[in-house]
Structure 1
Amino acid sequence: MSSVETAVRKNRYRLVPFMLALYVLAFLDRSNIGFAKDAYQLSTGLSDDVYALGAGIFFVLYAFLGVPANLIMHRWGAKKWIGTITVLWGLLSASMAFADTEAKFLLVRILLGAVEAGFFPGMIYLTSKWFPQESRAGVMGLFYMGAPLALTFGSPLSGALLEMHGFLGQPGWFWMFMVEGLMAVVAGLFTFIWLDDSPAKADFLTADEKQALLSRLKYDGEHSVTSNIGEAVRNPRIWHLALIYMMIQVAVYGLIFFLPTQVAALMGTKIGFLASVVAAIPWVAALFGTWYIPRLSDRLNERRHTAALTLLAAGIGIGISGLVPPLLAMIGLCVAAIGFIAVQPVFWTMPIRLLSGTALAAGIGFVNLFGAVGGFLAPIIRVHADELFNNKSAGLLTLAAVAVIGSFLIWGLKKMNPPRAVAAQS
């Protein structure tokens, strides 16, 4: 086994579980309002429109702070940056327990989005600093398992915490927000101990492993399109990718924020522990898809067709979920969850393939900006489509159409397969 392969294996064992755990907490803290929706609205008097605005407003500052956040991380270092923002978003998420009015709800959601803005693009950028091009889809696939894990285990966890209604005189949603937020605070403090800024500073790698890996990463950078920020932002392929990512996120969050309610409606019950367990089924399916599809992409050395077909399947799945009986609808939701989550790690290899250096840090933030716009629009689009057509399936079909259009936009990309690896270095 070459020094590069040994270093990649060590990095995978040390970093991927850590990154995955942080993503579980981040995803849970941004999406847990979906589990609390009915009880929270009943306690606070929030209307459906205000709830949809609050679900989406998370992405307002989140969208515009992704680029500067990644540039700060590039200069400041991953350890300080990721550790600090994780502690802060945990505190803000816990403070949702006290957001008992419309104004507090909207304020906390927008601040939570501002703090979390640096996390996800920071993790994508971190991947490019530790793993060579040909192994990134598989690594990001493991990282992206954080989303279905958050919704698989977070679903019954959130449901169980909601069952604590009345404990110490507080509603169940109070305990859900408090406990899940404080979990992130603890993880943020651990970050300062566990995370290194780069392979050059990693004590767990030998000198030969560091040198071989850094040489391989340098080779990847030299074969990118540009390392200049201005050229990156003007590159039409980056804009094309940003538009695709926006459509992916419209479909993703249009499903996520309403899935517990949709599943409860299929079961003919209210959201509680049982409905939350059933709502976790699509995310269990997504775990397998997110593990397998990016690895298949690496093995085939192919990105574009894999991503397009995966997103197309997701659109079909979410579309049929609103048109068929409950059992078939659950199958459709499983297909949708697999597609929406598994397409993203394959997608992110594309901008990483094009850019390097500060341009990569900024480019990831730029593409993520469009994704944040999609996340903001998602619940609003779904609610307004339902109201416009006076049909509860209209929103789902709208999301499905967005996903299908996104899949054809991926097919419209020029060939973007990863370069073959250089000869192994010993």
Structure 2
Amino acid sequence: MNTDSYGNGLAIGKELDDPADAALYGKLTRRIVPFLFLAFVVAYIDRVNVSFAKLQMLADLSLSETVYGAGAGIFFVGYFIFEVPSNLILHRVGARLWIARIMVTWAVVSSLTVFVTDASSFYLLRFLLGIAEAGFFPGVVLYLSNWFPSQRRSQIIALFMAAIPVSGAIGGPLSGWLMAHLAGVHGIAGWRWLFLVEGLGSLVVGVAAFFVLTDRFADVRWLNAEEKSRIAADLARDALTRTHTSARGAFASVQVWLLGLLYFCIAMGNYGLAFWVPTIIKASGVASIGNIGLLSAVPSLVSVIAMIWIARHADRRNERRVHVALCCVIGAAGLLASVLCAANVTVSIAALVVAAIGINSIAPVFWGIPTALLGGAGAAAGLAVINCTGNLAGFVSPFIVGRLADLSGGKLLPGMLAIACALVVGAAIVLFMPSHRTSQRTFK
């Protein structure tokens, strides 16, 4: 019998192939995941569209690469401060109300970025955007853990997190088009239109969240009594292997903080990719903003297929540690190669594809670990602690790359080398995390 990463000791391969279970959880997936996927797409576009705005904004406002890096990253300071309180509120009031509140708030703040005039206002609005979005991702992960058992969770999280590369595939061309075609309309710069239009899109989805989401599977009408009973039984079996603790207990857990450190290394790669792909493509010789937007979609689209396949493979093999480590190394190698081969557009784009496959595939597998470990209020707090600790990399990553670029005369290699090192450290952490062989919660 296989054991899950910090898992449940179940022979999950048979369950994944059971036709009745497959039909039930397929129905659940079709009903729940598409809207959450859409919400994460618009969230991530609003989070990283600054990477495209940068191509015009820095010159318009006379800002340096260091200012851009700090502004891109200060989002995560606000995110860090309000992440745990936000997730604890979601645990109390329910996902429907709180996710809708998060989305509406961030849409308004993102749209207000149209009024940025200098470094100070840029910093302020990025900080407020982080506060507004705090709790969204761990809240959704917590929400999914209350609908899907752990043996299906990596692939479900992968379907949700496929929104990250899809947001790149959609957001890149859309951002490029908006900046190229709306520049100067009504005397407004293209990058300002970018923030306004994409922020309003998030507002629409945020309002819809209040009417689309349901807090508990027991309350939906599209599941019959037998289906609800089977889901409840699966989740009850999951609960036997979870550590149910208080929020204070999660804060005191060495295991939680170690997972947070690991996620920090993973997120260094995520945001290195998210905030610098347009700049890497431009450095390879592509001058047109529209073409940069289109080319930036290629790594994202290819990685969607890979990340879903890798997450499903991890679930079937019931193994997460090696999957995470290999993806970290692949992502690091791809990032470095994309910069080292910048003289050749084709090779550089191919390397970015490899980087995107590795980096985008890590988190869905990773999140199968803490969701199998934690339950109750401890899950709400623990997932938030892990996520906000990891997402501090959202500040560190762009700031380091921007600072090193300024110090090296605009070169991207030093920054990408720093991010690659973080990913390799992440691989080492996950491989050397202790195996608790004496308990059911085996890290495999």
TM-score normalized with structure 2 length: 0.90
Q: Which moved more, 1:240-249 or 1:96-105?
A: 96-105
| 2:425 counterpart residue number | 405
5+ unaligned residues in a row in structure 2: which ranges? 1-17
The residue number in structure 2 matching 1:382 is 401
| Alignment partners' CA distance in 1, 2:70 and 2:262 | 23
Q: How many Å apart are 1:414 and its aligned residue?
A: 3.5
Residues 1:84 and 2:109 aligned together: no
Does the aligned pair in 2 maintain the 1:226–1:232 contact within 8 Å? no
Cα pair 1:94 1:180 within 8 Å, conserved: yes
Aligned to 1:336: 355
Aligned match of 1:353 = 372
Aligned counterparts of 1:265 and 1:256: Cα–Cα separation in 2: 16
Do residues 261 (structure 1) and 275 (structure 2) align?
Answer: no
The secondary structure found in structure 2 opposite 1:258 is helix
Q: Distance in 2 between matches of 1:416 and 1:320?
A: 37
CA displacement 1:14-36 (0-9 Å, x = unmatched): 11111110010000001001011
- One-letter identity of the residue aligned with 2:223: L
| 1:132/1:220 contact within 8 Å kept | yes
Query: Which amino acid letter does the alignment assign opposite residue 421 of structure 2?
Result: A
CA contact 1:247–1:371 (8 Å) conserved in 2? yes
Q: How far apart are the structure 2 equivalents of 1:346 and 1:151?
A: 20
Deviates more, 1:393-402 or 1:319-328: 319-328
1:107-146 superposed matches below 5 A:
107-146=124-163
Q: The residue matched to 1:322 in structure 2 has which SS?
A: helix
| Pairwise CA distance, 1:45 | 2.1
Once residues 374 and 19 of structure 2 are traced to their aligned partners in structure 1, the CA distance between those partners, rounded to angstroms, is 26
1:241 equivalent in structure 2: 259
Whether 1:152 aligns to 2:172 is no
Q: Of 161, 166, 170, which aligns to 2:184?
A: 166
Corresponding position of 2:294: 277
Which of the numbers 68, 80, 102 marks the counterpart of 2:85?
68
Q: How far off its partner does 1:257 sit?
A: 0.9
Between the aligned partners of 1:151 and 1:18, the Cα distance in structure 2 is 18
Cα distance in 2 for partners of 1:267, 1:297 equals 38
Distance 2:149 2:224 in 1: 17
**What is the aligned length?**
419
Counterpart of 1:375 in structure 2: which amino acid? G
Identity across aligned pairs (percent)?
A: 35
Contact 2:69 2:401 in 1 (8 A): no
Contact 1:4 1:213 (8 Å CA) reproduced = no
State the AA in 1 paired with 2:377: T
Question: Hey, what does 1:191 align to over in structure 2?
Answer: 209
Distance apart, 1:192 and its partner CA: 1.2
**Alpha-carbon offset, residue 4 of structure 1:** 5.2
Q: SS of 1:280's equivalent? A: helix
What is the rounded CA distance, in whole Å, between the counterparts of 1:205 and 1:42 in structure 2?
A: 55
Contact 1:241 1:367 in 2 (8 A): yes
Q: Name the stretch that deviates more: 364-373 or 224-233.
A: 224-233
Equivalent-residue separation in structure 2 for 1:104 and 1:385 (angstroms): 24
Distance (whole Å) between structure 2 residues aligned to residue 227 and residue 221 of structure 1:
12
C-alpha RMSD over aligned residues:
1.9
Of residues 195, 219, 234, the one that matches 1:216 is 234
Q: Could you state the TM-score of these two structures normalised by the residue count of structure 1? A: 0.94
Rounded Cα–Cα distance in structure 2 between residues aligned with 1:4 and 1:358 = 28
Once the two structures are superposed, residues 35-88 of structure 1 have per-residue CA deviations (whole angstroms, 9 ceiling, x without a partner) of 110211122222222111110000001012111111100100111001111111
Q: Deviations over 1:261-283 (max 9, x none)?
A: 1101202415x111110121111
Q: Which position in structure 2 is the counterpart of 1:393?
A: 413
Aligned-partner Cα distance in 1 for 2:248–2:64: 43
Q: What is the SS of the residue equivalent to 1:208? A: helix
